[in-house]
Amino acid sequence: MCGIIGVLGNHEAAPILVEGLKRLEYRGYDSAGIATVNGGTLGRRRAVGKLVNLSDVLVHDPLAGKSGIGHTRWATHGAPTVDNAHPHRAGSVAVVHNGIIENYKELRAELTAKGLAFTTETDTETVALLTESYLRDGLTPVAAAAETIKRLHGAFALAFLFDGEQDLMIAARQGSPLAIGHGVGEMFVGSDAIALAPFTDQVTYLEEGDFAVLTRNSIEIQDRNGTLANREKRQIQLDMARIEKDGHKHFMAKEIAEQPTAIDRALVEYLGQDNTITLPENLDFTQVERLTLVACGTGYYSCLVAKYWFEQIARMPVEVDVASEFRYREPPISPDTLALFVSQSGETADTLAALRYTDGKAKQIVGLVNVPESSIARESDVVLPIKAGPEISVASTKAFTCQLTVLLLMALKAAEVRGQSLPDNVLDDIRALPGLVHQAIAAENNIQAVARDLASARDVIFLGRGALYPIALEGALKLKELSYIHAEGYASGELKHGPIALIDETVPVVVLAPRDALFEKTVSNMQEVMARGGKVILVTDAEGARVASDGVSETIIMPALPDVLAPVLYAIPAQQIAYFTAVAKGTDVDQPRNLAKSVTVE
């Protein structure tokens, strides 16, 4: 969480920093700030709330200078106030930080004893004060920053700027991502390549423990042992430079609408015209006894759906874990385990830590990511990009359906190489997915009416059976994060074991029930809800609606389709229900409160 940007440039830094921060705002939006060096003097501006507030401050109180650092914050230590906003300054150093300094209390005590005064509640101020104390001891800026880094425990990406130093920036990384952008006579620093895309397409990713000394024309990187390191310069895709809503009211609406194209891209990547599934050559399902799938949030629900596919189609035993629990449980990992980590951003700290736990234990580490240059991608033995394209809205949509598409192809490939027969015509059926998703999106008008009703609910329940159960969980997560309505997803058959006590006429129940082999059972569970006054919103196909709509408040009709594809398609109404409910409630759709897109702290 938190986004950082820096520039040693030939033009005014403030507009560059604000443009970079705009692209990083998905990482946090509690407060924002910039600092520059102008005529050798450090100055800074900060504001609470969205970036637009900082822009307002800069209109009334501009900040000149061609060297600068900027930050958009997701608060960890200390409330979102101007004082706690980055950059943090102590004497002649200013610092921006993404991550958590775990030993900040000890450092704070040490610095306080030395007579240095703290003015914020943040862990980051410790970094600025420690550097300042080394400067006072007579160290150079580079040496002071290097000594400071040696004292820090925890996760950080840091950029330092110094009074009197127009052509110097220090960048350091441990646990949080950081990239250097190479311009012509200019140098940039950013939390990701998307932030740097408007300024350069030449990027170097810092590795764990790297310490970089930047000037406009040079970069010197030392690795964690202090040895000079040669890090590759890569060319990033130019489409990253375009982050626009394209006429949609929100990025989320745009990203929902993009799903047919995104899924098609994933299919083109992995499914040949002759229906051959081509996965990376080194991905080996043959000698695998067990699959361990690990992710957070929406990615976790992709994994839960994949469990049904891998077990039913490939007949492989599968375990699924939330990443934040995984490594602390210390699960035994046998050498015949294939460990798969699913992450849109590829930077989620919990997932990355889980990956590192399995490193050296599992047969192979596979990363399923949307950002091919991400940390998870770089630390995996095998990488499968999901091809969703940049996802900006905090609520994940197209990444989810692309994850599902690639996971389904993986399960089918695993079945093939392990001698299991595939469901009839499944590969031809998959080709129909983009068109079916397009039709599902077109059902949105009915969903808008449903959403207007849901907007006044206090609690909402989502039900699904089989591989639709994780979609019920995903529907509830989307509704919670976007509209702040309490929502829970349950396996339909589980309702009677407790949660049914919640049902009355004030609790809408969304039932995801394609007309599949389990349909009759789900309908029975739905009847149990209606018998207790519960208001049912049934999402089904035309045949399901014909036989089961009696007594139901609203029916949302999906195209009929083979059972195996239903989780992908039924994700669409789940997303749209959340989206339109949030719009009806007037909440901040793309940047819901308290959240950030990329969660780089544990």
What is the contact surface with ligand M6R in residues (CB under 6 A)?
A: 296-299, 343-345, 348, 351, 394-396, 477, 481, 599
Strand partners, 154: 101
Query: Is 303 an annotated catalytic residue?
Result: no
CB-nearer residue toward ligand M6R: 94 or 596: 596
State the DSSP code for 25: G
Work out how close the CB of 579 gets to ligand M6R at its nearest, in angstroms, rounded to a whole number: 11
Q: Which is nearer to ligand M6R, 63 or 355 (CB)?
A: 355
Q: Residue with the closest Cβ to ligand M6R?
A: 297
Q: How far apart are CA 202 and CA 332, in angstroms?
A: 41
Q: Give the nearest distance from C-beta 514 to ligand M6R in angstroms.
A: 23
Q: Which is nearer to ligand M6R, 297 or 475 (CB)?
A: 297
Residue number with CB closer to ligand M6R (297 or 389): 297
Active site residue 597: yes
User: CB 162 → ligand M6R: shortest distance, Å?
Assistant: 34
CB of 301 to ligand M6R, least distance (A): 8
Q: Which one of the listed residues 363, 398, 535, 597 is annotated catalytic? A: 597
Contact 302, 402 (CB under 8 A): no
* Least Å from the CB of residue 106 to ligand M6R: 30
Rounded distance between C-alpha atoms, residue 450 and residue 574, angstroms: 12
**Cα–Cα dist 12/120, whole Å:** 29
Considering the complex, state which of residue 20 and residue 177 has its C-beta at the smaller distance from ligand M6R. Answer: 177
Sign of CA dihedral 52, 57, 60, 62: negative
Question: Could you tell me which residues come within 8 angstroms of residue 531 by beta carbon, excluding any fewer than 6 positions away?
Answer: none
Instruction: Compare residues 92 and 343 and give the one whose CB is closer to ligand M6R.
Output: 343
Question: Shortest gap between Cβ of 369 and ligand M6R (angstroms)?
Answer: 8
In contact, 172 and 131? CB cutoff 8 Å: no
Of residues 67 and 298, the one with the C-beta less far from ligand M6R: 298
Contact 159, 35 (CB under 8 A): no
| CB count in 10 Å sphere of residue 273 | 7
Q: Among 146, 143, 102, 138, which Cα is nearest to 123's?
A: 102
Q: How far apart are CA 407 and CA 305, in angstroms?
A: 9
Q: Residue 162: beta bridge partners? A: 93
Convert 27-95 into a string of H (helix), E (strand) and C (coil). Answer: HCCCEEEEEEEECCEEEEEEEECCHHHHHHHHHHCCCCCCEEEEEEECCCCCCCCCCCCCCEEECCEEE
Least Å distance, CB 396 to ligand M6R, is 4
Cβ at position 295, least distance to ligand M6R in Å: 6
- Nearer Cβ to ligand M6R (19/379): 379
Map tokens 């996965």 to a residue.
279
Residue 73: CB minimum distance to ligand M6R, A: 17
Task: Find, among 344, 427, 423, 349, the residue nearest to 391 by Cα.
Answer: 344
Pick between residue 166 and residue 298 the one whose CB is nearest to ligand M6R: 298
Phi first, then psi: give them for residue 412, nearest 5 degrees: -70, -40
Task: Report d(CA 583, CA 534) in Å as an integer.
Answer: 24
* CB < 8 Å & 24+ apart, contacts of 445-449: 446/554, 446/556, 446/557, 447/556, 447/573, 447/576, 447/577, 447/580, 448/580, 448/584, 449/554
User: Which SS3 state, helix, strand or coil, does residue 214 take?
Assistant: strand
Which residue, chain included where needed, has tokens 């195209």?
559
Active-site residue list: 2, 597
